């Protein structure tokens, strides 16, 4: 693996990194020279991502656990720092679709969405800030969604959470700019990952007769101007740019990566 890349010498962590966009990002950042803390609740898949990175000559450690636990959401920072000697970037990618329905809402699912989209990312950020400051600055990226920029009839609760993420990005960006800590978000449109299948076929989302999660994923992609869902690597490309020094004058941005959906 070529370790002289766009992230050479950087240390970072990626949450929800055993699958989808997080996995694509962890692998890409490592290929660009970063040492990566790969964080996910799925122990086996996390280990597989780390193995893939190390086999290709990169640097990574597996950190498995439940980000709903505050202690774990902090520990991921400390374990990455301990392994690699500091921290330069964080991709707070974990999230959850939450309930589709408002009438008859499942409040447990509401709480899960608030915990995984808002609370845990703030806990990790709180733990990361002193470490980024110690390096003289750094970069934090959140995963919002096009549902953080415009209403979604499929999920008003997801709107609350992802608009919240965008608000957090705006506030943190202004608060920490003087300390050279940049804070941005990527706002993916429908992206071809397991979560998109969960999203379109939630138990309370009233699957139209004859539709399967697979047909719905293609339909949802077909509604985008580019007429297809994104591939996880296309979101990872945007994440790489925003987290790297190439985006040195960009902070407080919520970047749509959505095939034109919010144009």
Pairing mode, strands 59-64 and 11-15: unpaired
* 13 makes contact with ligand NAD (CB under 6 A): no
Q: Site mask, ligand NAD, residues 188-227, x = CB under 6 A? A: x-xx-xxxx-------------------------------
* 25 makes contact with ligand NAD (CB under 6 A): no
Given 11, 14, 21, 90, the residue binding ligand NAD (CB under 6 A): 21
- Residue 220 burial (CB count, 10 A): 16
- Listed in sequence order, the residues at least 6 apart from 106 whose beta carbon sits closer than 8 Å to its beta carbon are 99, 204
- Residue 66 burial (CB count, 10 A): 12
Nearest to 189 by CA among 262, 134, 130: 262
Given 16, 77, 236, 255, the residue binding ligand NAD (CB under 6 A): 16
Given 5, 7, 12, 22, the residue binding ligand NAD (CB under 6 A): 22
Give the nearest distance from C-beta 82 to ligand NAD in angstroms.
Answer: 19
Measured from the CB atom, is 3 or 152 closer to ligand NAD?
152
The catalytic position among 89, 91, 142, 158 is 158
Contact residues for ligand NAD, defined by CB under 6 A = 16, 18-22, 40-42, 66-68, 93-95, 116, 143, 145, 188, 190-191, 193-196, 232
């Amino acid at each position: 693996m070529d370790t002289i890349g766009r992230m050479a010498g950087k240390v970072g962590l990626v949450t929800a990194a055993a699958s989808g966009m997080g996995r694509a990002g962890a692998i890409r950042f490592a290929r660009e020279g970063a040492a990566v803390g790969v964080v996910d609740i799925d122990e086996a898949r996390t280990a597989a991502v780390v193995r893939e990175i190390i086999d290709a000559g990169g640097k990574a450690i597996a950190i498995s656990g439940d980000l709903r636990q505050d202690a774990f959401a902090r520990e991921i920072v400390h374990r990455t720092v301990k392994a690699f000697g500091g921290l330069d970037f964080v991709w707070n990618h974990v999230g959850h679709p939450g309930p589709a329905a408002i009438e008859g809402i499942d409040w447990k699912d509401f709480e899960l969405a608030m915990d995984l989209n808002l609370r845990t990312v703030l806990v990790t950020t709180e733990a990361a800030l002193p470490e980024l400051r110690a390096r003289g600055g750094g970069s934090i990226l959140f995963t919002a969604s096009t549902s953080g920029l415009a209403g979604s009839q499929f999920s008003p609760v997801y709107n609350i959470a992802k608009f919240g993420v965008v608000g957090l990005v705006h506030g943190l960006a202004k608060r920490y700019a003087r300390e050279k800590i940049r804070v941005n978000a990527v706002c993916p449109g429908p992206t071809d990952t397991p979560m998109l299948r969960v999203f379109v076929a939630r138990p309370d989302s009233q699957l139209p007769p004859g539709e399967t999660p697979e047909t719905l994923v293609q339909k949802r992609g077909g509604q985008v101007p580019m007429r297809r869902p994104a591939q996880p690597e296309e979101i990872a490309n945007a994440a790489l740019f925003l987290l790297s020094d190439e985006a040195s004058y960009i902070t407080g941005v919520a970047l749509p990566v959505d095939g034109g959906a919010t144009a």
